């Protein structure tokens, strides 16, 4: 039985999930270490990691709280950062929309990376589903293990920059979107969007520029004439 599960997932995806999970575990350890160093009680750190379950927003919330921001500022910063999950859910939401419990677990597991892993499978819906759940499971386990470890190792792991680990997650997402960028219209839309997001970054709160990037989608529309001729 176990063997058949590995067989279904496939070696490449397992290897990729493992590589990605290591990065997530270190990020989780860094989060817990920083939270602990800030004097946050262990159970609040855990509640955040389990129920918010969004790394970027959690780090941002710690940053705002450390800077003396109000509770309202913490919530607003985190929620604006998380708005990008709406386009993610629109793109991959059907992959886990089966039973009530897959809907809940799938919704909680909607992340930059699970979305990117699912999209990297292209039009193969079965593979996309497997990728979503495999990487989602890897992420959940690694995040919890990392958080647990981070509370005890403290100190040095709070600066993962020294190991260059801040380059790991962007590199993973970049690697996963590259296959989609081979489509010329998507490439044009994404490149335009990235330029828009960069230009808007100095003026908007973090989280908004990447949504503004969606303006780039004007280039993603298939040519009407050809589309209608095809249908």
Partner 1 sequence: MTMVAAIIALAVGTFLIRLSGPLLRGRLTLSARTEAILKAGATVVLLALTVTSTLIVDGGFAGWALPAGVLVGGVLAWRRLPLAVVVVAAAATTALLRLAGIA
Q: In a 10 Å sphere around its CB, with 0-12 CB exposed, 13-18 middle and 19+ buried, how is residue 220 labelled?
A: middle
Nearer to partner 1, 4 or 213 (CB): 213
Nearer to partner 1, 37 or 181 (CB): 181
Nearer to partner 1, 5 or 72 (CB): 72
CB of 129: closest distance to partner 1 in angstroms?
14
Nearer to partner 1, 108 or 137 (CB): 108
Query: CB–CB of 30/168 below 8 Å?
Result: no
CB of 94: closest distance to partner 1 in angstroms?
6
CB of 163: closest distance to partner 1 in angstroms?
5
Residue 150: closest CA among 55, 221, 8, 223 = 55
**In the Cβ-directed half-sphere of 167, how many Cα atoms lie within 13 Å?**
4
Q: How many CB atoms lie within 10 A of CB 60?
A: 20
CB of 1: closest distance to partner 1 in angstroms?
27
């Amino acid at each position: 039985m176990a063997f058949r599960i590995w067989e279904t997932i496939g070696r490449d995806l397992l290897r990729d999930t493992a590589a990605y999970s290591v990065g997530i575990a270190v990020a989780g350890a860094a989060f817990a270490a920083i939270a602990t160093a800030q004097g946050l009680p262990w159970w609040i750190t855990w509640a955040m990691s389990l129920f918010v379950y969004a790394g970027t927003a959690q780090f941002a919330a710690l940053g705002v709280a450390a800077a003396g921001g109000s509770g309202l500022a913490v919530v607003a910063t985190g929620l604006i950062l998380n708005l990008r999950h709406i386009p993610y859910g629109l793109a991959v939401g059907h992959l886990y929309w089966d039973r009530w419990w897959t809907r809940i677990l799938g919704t909680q597991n909607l992340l930059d990376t699970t979305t990117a892993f699912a999209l990297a499978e292209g039009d193969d819906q079965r593979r996309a589903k497997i990728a979503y759940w495999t990487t989602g499971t890897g992420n959940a386990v690694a995040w919890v293990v990392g958080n647990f470890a981070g509370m005890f190792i403290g100190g040095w792991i709070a600066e993962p920059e020294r190991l260059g680990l801040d380059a790991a997650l962007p590199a993973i997402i970049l690697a996963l979107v590259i296959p989609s960028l081979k489509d010329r219209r998507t490439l044009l839309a994404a490149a335009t969007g990235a330029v828009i997001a960069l230009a808007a970054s100095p003026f908007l709160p973090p989280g908004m520029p990447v949504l503004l990037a969606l303006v780039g989608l004007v280039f993603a529309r298939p040519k009407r004439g050809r589309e209608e001729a095809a249908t």
